[in-house]
Structure 1
Amino acid sequence: MPMQQRKARLSLSLVAALLLAWAPSSAQQASEGGAADNEIRIGNVMPYTGPLAAFATIGRAEAAYFDMVNERGGINGRKIKFISVDDSSNPRTALQQTRELVEKENVLLMFGSFGTPSNLATRTYLNDKKIPQLFVASGDEEWANPKTYPWSMGWQPTFRAEGQIYANYIQASYPDRKIAVLWQNDQFGRDLFRGLQEGLGDTAGMIVADLAFDVSDTSIQVQIKILKDSGADILVFNGAPAIAARAIRIAADLDWHPVFILDNASASIASALRPAGLQNALGVISTSFLKDADDAAWKEDPPIKAWSAFMDKYYPDGDKEDSYAIFGYAAAETLVQVLKQCGDDVSRENIMRQATSLKNYVNPVALPGIAINTGPTDFRPIEQMRLVQFDGNVWQPIGDVVESAFLNAPGDK
């Protein structure tokens, strides 16, 4: 065979060998979505517009946190590409946006998307495609159902547990008082109300009135007047922050001063208490699992100092009194912990493996005594809360950290 022909065949063989060597790596990256040598692509859906737009602070804080991580070199040599889009709290839009994030933006996982209806709308799609739906910003119990939905996991304590905590507080502090409930007419509102009723048990008859409202309602004056006329001494509110602000203000205008219990999701000074009038919110009771950055007790706390510096540099337009900002910061920090544990293996399977292997992880901005623990059958990262009361300036703790893991629900340990 002529030398020239042998050289040509040798060259072709070398090219073929190089192609074969390259192909598996390329195919693996394509199959794993946004997993590359220098980037991790993360999708997120938030209500940047619409009636629940106050919660969009969560997404903005998460984006700012990832900016900080990237400036510091990323995670194991990879930068985060955080793609956050608006669904206006519309489940159909959420599903459409999620499909585009997966199929067009090629995200590796979905993280921290807000709301129960929107996440329920996307859950089957993501689980069918085996794409992690991590640290959902919703307290619904559906995010702890690993047998049926092994790719979906919540982050915060459940709404039902929160309702039981309020029931326990009422029984201990106001056992003979009549109770009224104003609740949002959706799964969030129903879950917390159900927990309240379960916690009250035989004394649930002390609930003398309850009324529901839609998240799109612009006026609840009639409902507040009816609840006042019921003779209730305690008002339990569970709904969005804009309506919480109206409820607090209207009750004050009607010269009705019940023991006002406010759900954790609306316990933002910036989004609920300040619009209601801080003087009207004096004495309001809620729950917390994260530090209050404005509380003087944390003034010299190194993690809160780091949080304040983060806000100044990476989220200067944010409000430090907005609890959703520290919520987003803490959730993003938890995800970064998971990704760090992944090392060089950022496959979707390993991401879920690490997300279900958090052992006594203490988030720096979590309240003392609250640790994150997960396992293959334990999809409830945070199971503790603390009762707090607003003193006109900040939230002050009431009692000790309350364990909420006693609840029975899908996916129990």
Structure 2
Amino acid sequence: MNRRRFLGFLAGTSAALATARAASAQSRQTGRGNPIPVDPPAAPPAATRPVGLSASAPGVTATEVRIGMSAAFRGTAAGLGTEFYRGAQAYYDEINTRGGVHGRAITVVSLDDNYEPNPCIKNTIHLLEKESVFTLSNYVGTPTLTRALPVIKRYADQSVVLVGNFTGAQPQREAPYADQVFNIRASYRQEMMALVERFWSLGARSFGVYYQIDAYGRSGTDGVARGLAQHGARITAEATYPRGAQFTDDMTPAVSALQKAGVDVVLCTGAYQGCGAFVRSARDAGFLAPISNVSFVGSDAMLALLVKHGKTNGRDYTRALVNSQVVPTYDDTTLPGVAEYRVLMERHNPAVPEALRDPKYAVQRMSFISLEGFVNAKVVVEALRRAGPQPTRASFRQALESLRNFDLGIGAALTFGPERHQGLDSVYFTRVEGDRWVPIADWAAAVQI
């Protein structure tokens, strides 16, 4: 969308904001783009409920705190929102069974945006105006969030913030939006520059990129360009695909362009179906260069597609496949936070509400995405605790900025501050072994076909 159309759209949202503010509260509706039906949480036992609790801010009542989430729950990116939701909900469910935070249960009001910008904008307005959520959290995707940021900015005078999101793009890390966004994960720039450094050290000099042709894809590709610039080099060749591509799509044209350019490695920025389709097409065409993906891709969902397809036609599509991650492996139970995640995922086994469920998507028992959602929920809960029994949006923000060297149990401490709204910087590298993602111990072996 060009700048004129974008500004026109924002003008339209201004009218929507005015209408929403004037409208009286309405009952929740089901369906895509509308809030899911959520039963009011049961009040915690009197013994655990502090005396004198009352509504201290929008989205806060005597018995609950409501958090708003817009994500992809249906369609080709269903696995991203689904697993992010499930990981966070496992932690919230556990907190709620223990009486909540200061006697209040946590309710997540989730809306489906189908990984598209305009629905995400509308969802954001709905969450803040009609649902009156206390805070926003766990948004999914660069093309969606980058378009919602100007809307969120309009609520700066109400101290609205977004905590944790499944995107490593730069806009929410820079002015004028960084002030209202608390990023927990490392950025795509950090992931891509780390990948470039690793492959460069292995001798790669000709780098190709394959990316989703939108803000997300460009963000990852920018990281590759910056990493190569540190070595006085440039990207050799580029290939793209449209958002919403399916695993069964033929990506041979993209493969041919990169293969003819003679690239040593291909760094991908996309979602699991589009990137999985590229890996499949590349290996079928005999293109054997190492292929990497950033964390957003949905590693476990992509691996499931590749393994299933490989068993059907007797080919291994997982060799020389390297993915960066922003959380440690979910199999490392020596880390207390990971062990806790596994226990609570098994105990609560959260399900996406029926109104948002995609019948074509099979949930992952454990995944990097749900672990990241789990970590984000721990940050939200800790900030709510520090905000006190009568939280306001301002005190919640102050509580977030008070988190310094906060131990999440994942081997890396989180630190926020007034001038630091990215909590973690760690990047991890994984390869496939025995149909599972494992940490890379031997890079030479990881990139061999």
TM-score range, shorter chain: 0.7 to 0.9
Paired with 2:214 and 2:223, the residues of 1 have a C-alpha distance of 14
Query: What is residue 285 of structure 1 aligned with on the other side?
Result: 322
Q: What residue ranges of structure 1 are gaps of 5+ in the alignment?
A: 1-24, 401-413
Question: Of 92, 97, 101, which aligns to 1:75?
Answer: 101
Structure 2 letter corresponding to 1:315? N
CA-based RMSD of the aligned residues comes to 2.5
| 1:122 correspondence with 2:148 | yes
Paired with 1:185 and 1:229, the residues of 2 have a C-alpha distance of 21
- What does 1:151-190 align with in structure 2 at a 5 Å threshold? 151-175=180-204, 177-190=205-218
Task: Kindly indicate whether the alpha-carbon contact (under 8 Å) linking 1:87 and 1:93 is maintained by their aligned counterparts in 2.
Answer: yes
Structure 2 letter corresponding to 1:286? N
- What does 1:3-152 align with in structure 2 at a 5 Å threshold? 29=55, 32-56=57-81, 57-129=83-155, 130=158, 131-145=160-174, 149-152=178-181
Q: Which one has more relative contact order, counting CA pairs under 8 Å at least 6 apart?
A: 2
Q: Give 1:316 shift.
A: 6.2
Structure 2 letter corresponding to 1:273? L
- What does 1:242-321 align with in structure 2 at a 5 Å threshold? 242-266=273-297, 268-269=299-300, 271-277=301-307, 279-294=316-331, 298-299=332-333, 301-315=335-349, 318-321=363-366
Paired with 2:178 and 2:376, the residues of 1 have a C-alpha distance of 21
Q: Give 1:86 shift.
A: 0.7
Go from structure 1 to structure 2 and tell me whether the alpha carbon gap of 1:155 and 1:202 turns closer, same or farther (over 3 Å shift): closer
Query: What is residue 229 of structure 2 aligned with on the other side?
Result: 201
Q: Give 1:107 shift.
A: 0.8
Go from structure 1 to structure 2 and tell me whether the alpha carbon gap of 1:145 and 1:229 turns closer, same or farther (over 3 Å shift): closer
Question: Of 374, 377, 397, which aligns to 2:416?
Answer: 374
Alignment deviations for residues 279-333 of structure 1 (CA, whole Å, 9 cap, x no partner): 3113322222323223xxx245544333222122211664234321212111111
TM-score, normalised to structure 2's length? 0.75
Query: What is residue 40 of structure 2 aligned with on the other side?
Result: none
Q: Give 1:399 shift.
A: 6.7
Query: What is residue 368 of structure 2 aligned with on the other side?
Result: 323
Q: Give 1:40 shift.
A: 0.7
Task: Kindly indicate whether the alpha-carbon contact (under 8 Å) linking 1:43 and 1:83 is maintained by their aligned counterparts in 2.
Answer: yes
Paired with 1:60 and 1:280, the residues of 2 have a C-alpha distance of 28
Paired with 1:222 and 1:147, the residues of 2 have a C-alpha distance of 39
Higher CA-based Rg? 1
Alignment deviations for residues 249-274 of structure 1 (CA, whole Å, 9 cap, x no partner): 111111221122121212522x1112
TM-score, normalised to structure 1's length? 0.82
Go from structure 1 to structure 2 and tell me whether the alpha carbon gap of 1:39 and 1:347 turns closer, same or farther (over 3 Å shift): same
Question: Of 350, 371, 378, which aligns to 2:395?
Answer: 350
Go from structure 1 to structure 2 and tell me whether the alpha carbon gap of 1:133 and 1:305 turns closer, same or farther (over 3 Å shift): closer
| 1:336 correspondence with 2:381 | yes
Q: Give 1:100 shift.
A: 1.7
Partner SS for 1:292: coil
Paired residues, number: 366
Paired with 2:416 and 2:338, the residues of 1 have a C-alpha distance of 25
Query: What is residue 30 of structure 2 aligned with on the other side?
Result: none
Task: Kindly indicate whether the alpha-carbon contact (under 8 Å) linking 1:44 and 1:113 is maintained by their aligned counterparts in 2.
Answer: yes
Between the aligned residues of both structures, percent identity stands at 21
Paired with 2:333 and 2:106, the residues of 1 have a C-alpha distance of 31
